[in-house]
Amino acid sequence: MLIVAVDVMSGDREPRERVAGVLRVLRLDGDLRALLVGKPAEIAPGLERLPDALRERVEIVPASQVIAMGEAPRTAVRRGRDSSMRVALNLVKEGRAAACVSAGNTGALTAISHFVLKTVESVERAAIMSAVPSSRGHTHMLDLGANTGATPLQLYQFACMGSIVARDLYGIEAPRVALLNIGEEDIKGHEVVQAAHALLGDGGVRYVGFVEGDGIFSGEVDVVVTDGFTGNVALKTMEGLARLIARRTRREFQSSVRGAIAGWIARPVLRRLAEGLDPRQYNGACMVGLRGVVVKSHGHADATAFARAVELAAHAARGELTSHIAQAFGA
C-alpha cells in the first residue's frame, strides 16, 4: 500500500476542493492511502458519509498553520514549523509517506522541500518538471519555476534528471533533450546557455542542441531544459494564450446564428479540443532532485486538477524516481 501525504490547506481554493480530488484518486486506486495534512475541523466534514473501505484509507494529520500564497520563502521556512506544507514534507522525510503533494506557494514549497528533504547528493538544486502538449503527445519541461535562474551546471543537472524522469516515468526510451534558447545556431544565446550547451555536448544525455520556444510543441524533442525564470514565463504564457483562444472560440461560436448552429453540431469536436488543451489535465509538476517525491499542484486547482497531481505523486513514487536519480548521480 502506497502512502501519499497531501497538504490540503494550501492553495487558492477551499480545502474541501482538494480533499475531493484526493478521494477521487483513492476511489480509482485501491492500493493508495492518503494522509490529509491540515486543520482537522476543515478537513473532517469532507470525509463524512464515506464508505468504510474508503474511509480506512484516509487519515487526518493535524497541522495548525497554513503558509499564505504570498509569503516569502525565507519566512515560510522560519515560521511555518507546524504548517500543513512543512508537516506533509516531514512525513516524507520520516518515511511515513512515499510522496507529498501541495498546491501552495511555489517559493515556499521549494524552500521548505530543500530545507526538510535536501537534494540528492551532488544535485545542486531541485527543478519543477511537467508535461506540456506537443504535436506528437507531450514534451517534458523543466525548470518551471523552482528557481529564479540557473547556472550552467544546474542546467546540465536538470537535463540529466529530466532525461531520467522521461524514461522512467513516461517510458520514453532514449529521450531527446534540448536546451531552450533564442536561436538554434550554436552561437546564439547568453553565456549561461552557451556554457550549458558545451557541458551537454560532452555526453551523459541524448542532447540534440538548442530549441526555440516554438520547438516545445514540435514533437521533435522529449525534454526541454531551461532556467526557472524562463520556464515559468513560458508555462504561464501557454496557459494564458490557451485561455484566450478558448474564450475567443466560445465568443465566435456564439456571435451568430450560423456559429451557434455549427457550435451545436461541433460540440463533441470542440469538447475534445478543449480537453486536449485543458490545463487541468496537465496539473501536477514533479520537483525533481530532492530526496523524496514532491509534487506541486497549480494553486487554482479544482478537484479534477488536484486529482491529477495526486496521481502523479503516486506514479512517481511507484516509479522510484528518487532512487533512480540518486543512482544516476552516483549517490
Grouping H, G, I as helix, E, B as strand and the rest as coil, residue 12 is coil
Contact string (CB under 8 A) for a copy of itself, positions 94-113, x = contact: ------------xx------
User: What is the smallest separation between the CB atom of 242 and a copy of itself, expressed in angstroms?
Assistant: 7
The alpha carbons of the chain give a radius of gyration, in whole angstroms, of: 20
C-alpha to C-alpha distance for 56 and 74, rounded to whole angstroms = 37
Instruction: Mark residues 5-44: x for contact with a copy of itself by CB under 8 A, - for none.
Output: ----------------------------------------
Part of the chain binding a copy of itself (CB under 8 A), chosen from 29-37, 39-47, 52-60, 248-256: 248-256
- Residue from the set 81, 248, 323, 327 that interacts with a copy of itself by CB under 8 A: 248
Looking at beta carbons only, is 133 or 292 nearer to a copy of itself? 133
Chain-centre distance for alpha carbon 14: 20
Phi, psi (5° rounding) for residue 4?
A: -115, 135
CB 31, min distance to a copy of itself, A: 35
Asked if residue 182 binds a copy of itself (CB under 8 A), the reply is yes
C-alpha closest to that of 89 among 7, 3, 14, 21: 7
- Which residues have C-beta within 8 Å of that of residue 88, sequence separation ≥ 6? 5, 6, 7, 35, 37, 61, 63, 97, 100, 101, 102
Residue 54 touching a copy of itself (CB under 8 A): no
Rounded Cα distance, 35 and 201, in Å? 44
Residue tagged 546540465 (cell numbers): 156
> Least distance (Å) from a copy of itself to the CB of residue 303?
22
**Site for a copy of itself (CB under 8 A): which residue of 34, 180, 196, 321?**
180
Q: Is 215 a residue that touches a copy of itself (CB under 8 A)?
A: yes
How many residues in the shown chain lie near a copy of itself by CB under 8 A? 63
- Min separation Cβ 218 and a copy of itself, Å: 7
**230 part of the interface to a copy of itself, by CB under 8 A:** yes
DSSP 1: -
CB nearer to a copy of itself: give 32 or 177: 177
Nearer to a copy of itself, 167 or 296 (CB): 296
Strand order in the sheet with 99-102: 58-62, 32-38, 2-7, 99-102, 293-296, 285-288, 127-134, 137-142, 223-225, 176-180, 206-211
DSSP 8-state symbol, 212: -
Task: Determine if residue 204 is left, alpha or beta; phi over 0 gives left, psi from -120 to 50 gives alpha, anything else beta.
Answer: left
Q: Which is nearer to a copy of itself, 62 or 219 (CB)?
A: 219
Peptide bond into 143 cis (omega under 30): yes
Which of 216, 225, 314, 317 binds a copy of itself (CB under 8 A)? It is 216
261 near a copy of itself, judged by CB under 8 A:
yes
Nearer to a copy of itself, 32 or 235 (CB): 235
Binding site for a copy of itself (CB under 8 A): 70, 72, 106-107, 133-135, 145, 148-149, 180, 182-183, 185, 187-190, 212-218, 226, 228-230, 232-245, 247-249, 252-253, 255-256, 258-259, 261-263, 265-266, 268-269, 272-273, 276-277
